[in-house]
Structure 1
Amino acid sequence: MDPAALAGIGLAFVAIIGANVMEGGNPAALAAPPALVLVFCGTIGACLAGGVLKDTIGAIQALIKALTAKAVDSTAAVDEIVTLAERARREGLLALEDAAKSIENAFLKKGLQMAIDGTDPEELREILEAEVTAKKAGDKVFAKWFTDAGAYGPTIGIIGTVMGLVHVLENLSQPDKLGHLIAGAFIATLWGVLSANVLWFPISKRIARVSELELAQMELVIEGILAIQAGSNPRVVAQKLKSLIPGGGDAAAEKKAA
């Protein structure tokens, strides 16, 4: 699991609470249940209303995946593909049928099995690229769900503040309560802005980034499978796949093919 998302969100909350304490504030005063219920339930409700139920369910699943996902290791995928290319060149494509059963990467496993089954290269590319396109479209919807949440949150927080100020005006005859009521009114705005910039927008960016890395690896896998199907030299396969990895890949892939 890549800890960047949880560590970043945690650090942001520590900074906010720490700043509050340094200014002499009481962190417990920020945890106002009415404001939390309004901002979070209102934001989720607005996002739910703006799409279909499938979008919200998918967004929750994407959130869990984004927070728990392992870092995508394209170099390891290159090593695995090069190993398969070496065996296919020595023993033939059909010899990979047993090896395909133990492959953990579902996309690689599916594509390799189709190649072993004799799928036409052009048709194989079309099928796999269609899956890449579908995943890209789905991930874009889920990332947008959280971007929308980041837009709704502050506005709903302002609604809470206005509601609080209305309550303040109802109690003008009790000056001793006004300070507490005014402070409470602005808690909703605080949580609206905080949730947008510490939770919703970063999560949206996280989903988009994880998707970007996964899609890049899927593109790499497609090229690798087609190269294996064509019987390309493992060294050439390694060099080609390394060129698709940002930064030029890793020398280990070339060494593996040597």
Structure 2
Amino acid sequence: MKKSTVIGLLGGGVLVLGMILLSPEHISAFFNIPGLIVVIGGTLAATVVSRPITDVIRVLRSLPELATDEQPSAGDEIEQLLRVAEWYRHGNIRAAERELANVSNPFLRSGIQLVIDRGPLQDLTKVLQWRIAGLRAREQADAQILRTMATLAPAFGMLGTLFGLVHMLSGLGHSGLQEIGATMAFAMAATLYGLLAANLVLKPLSIKMERRTQQRLVSMNMLQEGILLLYDRQHPILIRETLDAYLSHQEDASYQVTKLAWMNAA
């Protein structure tokens, strides 16, 4: 798991636990199982109403990967491309195919294979662009699902609190002040769950997914440039310099996109 993810989750958990332990005699007030069910179940149900259930399931299954996923080094992928380019430039197709077997990135591997097969350049460009567009559309939709859930969770937290207040008011004539206070605290826990789910989990994960998507798009666009240079049998040194310059420019643009995502989420 990435260090930043570990630090964030542990830091948030310690903060919440510390606030609970400030009043150890009232710890039970923070545990509201019905309220938790309302927040989780209501958020999922409302999300499924607005989005296809298959997309929601896919996003939920991808959350562990999102927390643990380490993006491959762009430098390693460039080196793999350059080793293929060295052989391909000299017409040694067999050696280029042997190097291709060591390429782990599916996008890069399929692009190099299309180059070796010597299909039309127009078809090669279309295939690469379709794959980039497909990843962008899919992951942007996934991030939107997380943002939707982050919007819904606090609302269902309030709904859980209202259920608790209705229960409290219905027995107002038969309860003492101490019991009323305990019931109200119990009801307010649902609002706490909704706010924590939205601001500690769902919203940060949606921003992280957008950041990961941007990194992947930068990498795929860079590799597309390299694949097209490989198709033209350009010298590996030219390919390296071109990709290094492209990567440096795109990383600056990626920072601006990430900054904008944080501002929109605020």
User: TM-score, normalised to structure 1's length?
Assistant: 0.89
Cα deviations by residue, 1:224-250 (Å, 9 ceiling, x for unpaired) = 11111111111111011011224799x
Corresponding residue number in structure 1 for 2:154:
154
Hey, what's the Cα distance between the residues in 2 that align with 1:229 and 1:94? 16
Corresponding residue number in structure 2 for 1:109:
109
Amino acid at match of 2:116: I
Hey, what's the Cα distance between the residues in 2 that align with 1:80 and 1:99? 8
Cα deviations by residue, 1:23-72 (Å, 9 ceiling, x for unpaired) = 55655532321111110111111111111122112212332321121134
Amino acid at match of 2:132: V
Aligned residues: 249
**Structure 1 residues 184, 28: closer, same or farther in 2, change over 3 A?**
closer
Corresponding residue number in structure 1 for 2:55:
55
Hey, what's the Cα distance between the residues in 2 that align with 1:27 and 1:90? 72
Amino acid at match of 2:219: Q
Deviating runs (4+, > 3 A) in structure 1? 22-29, 90-95, 246-249
Hey, what's the Cα distance between the residues in 2 that align with 1:2 and 1:100? 29
Corresponding residue number in structure 1 for 2:205:
203
Corresponding residue number in structure 2 for 1:187:
189
Whether the 8 Å CA contact 2:83–2:99 is kept in 1: the answer is no
Cα deviations by residue, 1:72-111 (Å, 9 ceiling, x for unpaired) = 4212212222222222223445541222223211111111
Q: Structure 1: which 5+ residue stretches go unaligned?
A: 250-258
Hey, what's the Cα distance between the residues in 2 that align with 1:160 and 1:202? 23
1:216 aligns with one of 198, 215, 218: 218
User: TM-score, normalised to structure 2's length?
Assistant: 0.87
Corresponding residue number in structure 2 for 1:67:
67
Whether the 8 Å CA contact 2:161–2:191 is kept in 1: the answer is yes
Amino acid at match of 2:98: D
Whether the 8 Å CA contact 1:111–1:225 is kept in 2: the answer is yes
Q: SS at the partner of 2:118?
A: coil
Hey, what's the Cα distance between the residues in 2 that align with 1:42 and 1:212? 31
Q: Structure 2: which 5+ residue stretches go unaligned?
A: 252-266
Whether the 8 Å CA contact 1:5–1:67 is kept in 2: the answer is yes
Residues 20-31 of structure 1 mapped to structure 2, 5 A cutoff? 20-22=20-22, 26-31=26-31
- Higher mean displacement: 31-40 or 20-29: 20-29
Whether the 8 Å CA contact 2:29–2:182 is kept in 1: the answer is no
Corresponding residue number in structure 1 for 2:82:
82
Corresponding residue number in structure 2 for 1:171:
171
Cα deviations by residue, 1:128-161 (Å, 9 ceiling, x for unpaired) = 1111001100001111111000000011111111
Q: CA RMSD in A?
A: 2.0
Hey, what's the Cα distance between the residues in 1 that align with 2:250 and 2:201? 33
Corresponding residue number in structure 2 for 1:36:
36
Amino acid at match of 2:217: L
**Structure 1 residues 125, 194: closer, same or farther in 2, change over 3 A?**
same
Hey, what's the Cα distance between the residues in 1 that align with 2:57 and 2:206? 15
- Higher mean displacement: 84-93 or 209-218: 84-93
Hey, what's the Cα distance between the residues in 2 that align with 1:110 and 1:242? 22
Q: How many percent of aligned residue pairs carry the same amino acid?
A: 25
Offset, 1:199: 0.8
Hey, what's the Cα distance between the residues in 2 that align with 1:205 and 1:246? 22
